[in-house]
Amino acid sequence: MIRLITGSTDPSHQEFLEEHYRLRHEIFVGERGWSALARPDEREIDAYDTPQTIYVLAIDNSHVVGGYRFLPTSEPHLLQDHFSHLVDGPVPRGHEIHEWSRFFIRKDHRGTGLFRHLIGSVPGVCKLLGITSLTAVIEPDWLPRFDAATFGYRVLGPFVQAASMQLAAVRIDIQHAPAPGQAIGWDS
């Protein structure tokens, strides 16, 4: 089941949000080695987990197994605050443009079709919320994923080495994304 949670302070979903912060820590700090995000409470939470953040969480047997977040670009966001050097020109901003970040899947749910299900939820969630485009900071392996999902996108600048990763900024046009439920071309 996909659950949409609006805001980091939603009292009816704090249990799911807390589990998701801990899972993000396990994945981004433990697995990916992003040590700058390490916290003693083992929660990966940052300045962009706000009352304006929209969380899309995959729930299986009452536990969070994957998800992502959207943040309005009219508010402070990662691309503007930390990665604007990835964009040739101004960083796209506006009420109908959101930043897409922190996409994750719990290790035991990888290769089960959850990736396809989560990425397939993006157009429907965006249309529901009136989001016309997304920005994101990505690694190169996301480009074929966008192609497989038939997302229209534009890389906003060259890939740049940052720590041990190659990063670039993209803008995804949601208005021309596949309709919810439309087949997506992969099996993972």
Helix (H, G, I), strand (E, B) or coil at 75: coil
- Give domain limits for the chain: 2-176
Distance, in Å, from the CA atom of 121 to the CA atom of 70, rounded to the nearest integer, reads: 13
Name the token pair of 71: 């943040």
Matching CATH number, 2-176, of 3.40.630.30, 3.40.50.1820, 3.30.70.2740, 3.40.50.2300: 3.40.630.30
> Does residue 183 have a pLDDT over 60?
no
CA 40/CA 46 separation, integer angstroms: 14
Q: What are phi and psi of 158, to 5 degrees?
A: -75, 160
Q: Which helix (H) or strand (E) holds 147?
A: helix 142-148
Q: What is the DSSP letter of 58?
A: E
Query: Residue range 34-44: average pLDDT?
Result: 90
Taken as a whole, the chain contains a residue count of 188
Per residue in 98-128, pLDDT tens?
999 999 999 999 999 999 999 999 999 999 9
Mean pLDDT of 135-144: 97
Spell out the alpha helix ranges (H) of 33-141.
78-82, 114-129
Q: How confident is the model at residue 184 (pLDDT cuts 50, 70, 90)?
A: very low
Is 90 exceeded by the pLDDT of residue 62?
Answer: yes
pLDDT at 35 over 80: yes
Is 50 buried (19+), middle (13-18) or exposed (0-12) by CB count in 10 A? middle
Q: What per-residue confidence (pLDDT) applies to 188?
A: 28
pLDDT band at 177 (very low <50, low <70, confident <90, very high): low
